Structure 1
Amino acid sequence: MSNSRNRPPVGIIGGTGLTTLSGLEIMAERPVVTPWGQPSSDLIEGCLGDQAVMFLSRHGNPHRIPPHQVNYRANIQALHDAGVRTIVGVNAVGGIHADMGPAHIVIPDQIIDYTWGRASTFFEGELDETTHIDFTWPYTEEARELLISAARDQKLAFSDFGVYGATQGPRLETAAEVLRLERDGCDLVGMTGMPEAALAAELKMNYVCLALVVNRAAGKSDHIITMAEIEAAIDQGMSGVKRILEASISGLGALTPQFS
């Protein structure tokens, strides 16, 4: 059996709390610069078991960058340049589907992009040719199956489907907007799912979303959404997210990159 230390590192984009995974050994932290500018944070290199991992804090460390101002291109480019070929995007979302309440984990299979004005592609400027990626299936199915299997093995409450509606933010949505999202077929609403997934696809990287519902979407409960509610759901559900990552990281590292 080959040593998985020779595999590419698995990239994890999310909050700083993810660096407390059980058994994780932090090796180094280093600043990076890309042709698209600086990523949201330094890259943190670590090892979980014998699988190399690379963490990037999407909103910075400390948490300071709003979703519409995240430099998604720099983030994805930085991970790619560091050798990452499979990315897990950990996202806090609002639940629209009736079964997706606070602290519920979702491994979505589709996405609808409602964002605007974000730098959303590497393919612009003086190009030799126009490039169009196939984005029919925005999440790598093999990676999704690994997360699903880990969630089942851990006996966690989760959903193995879901359409993620990516909105602009930083404000939360109105009740009428959530109704529109629901009519469009969205099960979840978040602000960071795009263009992150598409940029990874442009660089032919494996990409999968691991979403934690932190509140019911606007109009889906009998009260307004509060930060206290969101923080409580994060505290309750993040342990399950970490368990899924811990159980699936070796398999994610063994995935074949999408590029030749």
Structure 2
Amino acid sequence: MIQPVIGIIGGSGLYDIDGLEEKTWRRVETPWGDPSDELLFGRLAGVPCVFLPRHGRGHPTSPTHLNYRANIDALKRSGVTDVISLSAVGSLKAALPPGHFVVVDQFIDRSFAREKSFFGDGIVAHVSMAHPVCARLGDSLFAAARQIGLPVTRGGTYLVMEGPQFSTKAESELYRSWGCSVIGMTNMPEAKLAREAELCYATVAMVTDFDCWHPDHDHVTVEAVVRVLLANADHARTLVRTVVPSLGQPRDLCPHGCDRALDNAIITAPFQRDADLLARLDAVAGRVLTG
């Protein structure tokens, strides 16, 4: 049986988690550089949790310049088994107004200026991203959101753009024509790296406003967006407090295979593997590369 350790990645407006006991901020060093901030360790209803503010406390780092590899490695190195990713997004559908939560099940990755894999020349690996989030985690998050009365939708596609600028109206309309539900800047390559690190991962996308396709978009003030952002953050904290006790129960291996994603992914023969990269992969892929 696995004793879960719940990792929580907080997006814009979410820089701490209420209710943690025995909490301590701790620096975690990784071979990929520094994560966004120290990690907050503690227990929630007795369940071990590790919180990482994605942009750092005070939001000093832009989506493009986040060290996604260090963030995921730090969580894995800290014993995390399950990751709840909380993300502020814009809406691409009229049925998903500000304040709505979406437990997404797909991504389209339009980012282009980020390191997207732990692997590369010297150790080549290909993991499946057909189903990029853990359905077990997604189901639990949806049930918990319904339990506390949040406006929530199960399923949807998150379009990840590079930024830091927002999309043009033509781009926004294009993404709508693709059937995307929400748009944001941070969940790729985060989800890809979580899969490579064999972490169960799920995203709760929290709508702050309509993207620029919407006819009322230009009338939305910064104050209104910030107001929704802060309200969403409060609701996200309540959601985390609600879902963690059930996710923290001892469990078997993930029925969807998230924690075994590397079983058949590594292509490079042992005699060709780069020693330096092998050392850097100790936390992420040690299960299949050592022993």
Fold shared per TM-score above 0.5: yes
2: CA distance, partners of 1:215 / 1:246: 25
The counterpart of 2:234, out of the listed 232, 239, 252, is: 239
Within a 5 Å distance, the mapping from 1:140-219 to structure 2 comes to 140-219=134-213
CA contact (8 A) 1:26 1:44 kept: no
The counterpart of 1:56, out of the listed 52, 56, 61, is: 52
CA shift digits 1:16-72 (9 cap, x unpaired): 745342x32252111122111000000110111111110111111221100000000
Alignment-mate amino acid for residue 19 of structure 1:
D
* Cα shift at 1:117: 1.9
CA contact (8 A) 1:27 1:47 kept: yes
Which residue matches 2:269? none
1: CA distance, partners of 2:38 / 2:222: 27
Alignment-mate amino acid for residue 186 of structure 2:
T
CA contact (8 A) 2:134 2:202 kept: yes
* Cα shift at 1:229: 2.4
Q: Which moved more, 1:240-249 or 1:37-46?
A: 240-249
Alignment-mate amino acid for residue 147 of structure 1:
L
The residue matched to 1:19 in structure 2 has which SS? coil
1: CA distance, partners of 2:52 / 2:217: 34
Matched, 1:88 2:84: yes
2: CA distance, partners of 1:18 / 1:144: 22
* Cα shift at 1:240: 2.3
Matched, 1:248 2:240: no
Task: State the percentage of identical aligned residues.
Answer: 34
Q: Tell me: CA distance 1:26–1:179, structure 2 relative to 1, closer, same or farther (3 Å).
A: farther
The residue matched to 2:73 in structure 1 has which SS? helix
1: CA distance, partners of 2:84 / 2:73: 15
2: CA distance, partners of 1:243 / 1:158: 14
CA contact (8 A) 2:211 2:217 kept: no
* Cα shift at 1:162: 1.1
CA contact (8 A) 2:104 2:157 kept: yes
* Cα shift at 1:226: 4.0
CA shift digits 1:179-208 (9 cap, x unpaired): 111111211000001000000000111000
The CA RMSD measured in Å over matched residues stands at: 1.8
Q: Tell me: CA distance 1:193–1:98, structure 2 relative to 1, closer, same or farther (3 Å).
A: same
Q: Tell me: CA distance 1:186–1:155, structure 2 relative to 1, closer, same or farther (3 Å).
A: same
Runs of 4+ in 1 over 6 A off after TM superposition: none
Which residue matches 2:16? 19
User: When the two structures are superposed, what TM-score results if normalisation uses the length of structure 1?
Assistant: 0.92
1: CA distance, partners of 2:162 / 2:149: 34
User: When the two structures are superposed, what TM-score results if normalisation uses the length of structure 2?
Assistant: 0.82
The residue matched to 1:195 in structure 2 has which SS? helix
2: CA distance, partners of 1:237 / 1:98: 18
Say which one has the larger Rg. Answer: 2
Aligned residues: 253
Within a 5 Å distance, the mapping from 1:2-151 to structure 2 comes to 7-15=3-11, 17=14, 19-21=16-18, 23-127=19-123, 130-151=124-145
CA shift digits 1:115-166 (9 cap, x unpaired): 0020000011322xx3111111111000001001111111221111110000
Which residue matches 2:281? none
